[in-house]
Amino acid sequence: MRVISFKKVKTRKSHQCWGCTKEIPIGIEVDRTINIDGNSIGTAYWCPQCAVLWGKLSMEDQSDVFTFGEFAQYCKDTGLAPLMGRGNEKV
């Protein structure tokens, strides 16, 4: 997967965080990435908590590909954010 665009945006509709799957409500400033994976293109929204935690990773760890919601478990397992929630909660 390759990131082709990174931008801070204010949400105009609700989304789910790619990192932790929490609902991101309307009007929240988030990191948005546009990614290419093989022949498909996709958009990922990162809640403020996941964006901060992502920034704490080494470049090597950032090169790992996390599937939807997998980043939250990684943070718990590595102690990066042991109390990080996951699921139907809101940001």
Domain assignment present for residue 88? The answer is: no
| Cross-strand bridge partners of residue 50 | none
φ/ψ of 88, rounded to 5, equals -85, 15
Give the Cα separation of 2 and 16 in Å (integer). Answer: 20
Read off the pLDDT of residues 17-47 as tens digits, 9 standing for 90 and up.
999 999 999 999 999 989 888 899 999 999 9
Q: Cβ distance 13 to 31 under 8 Å? A: no
Count of domains observed in the chain: 1
Q: What's this model's pTM, rounded to 2 decimal places?
A: 0.79
> 28 lies in a domain?
yes
**Mean pLDDT, to the nearest integer, of 1-8?**
83
Residues spanned by the domain of 6: 2-78
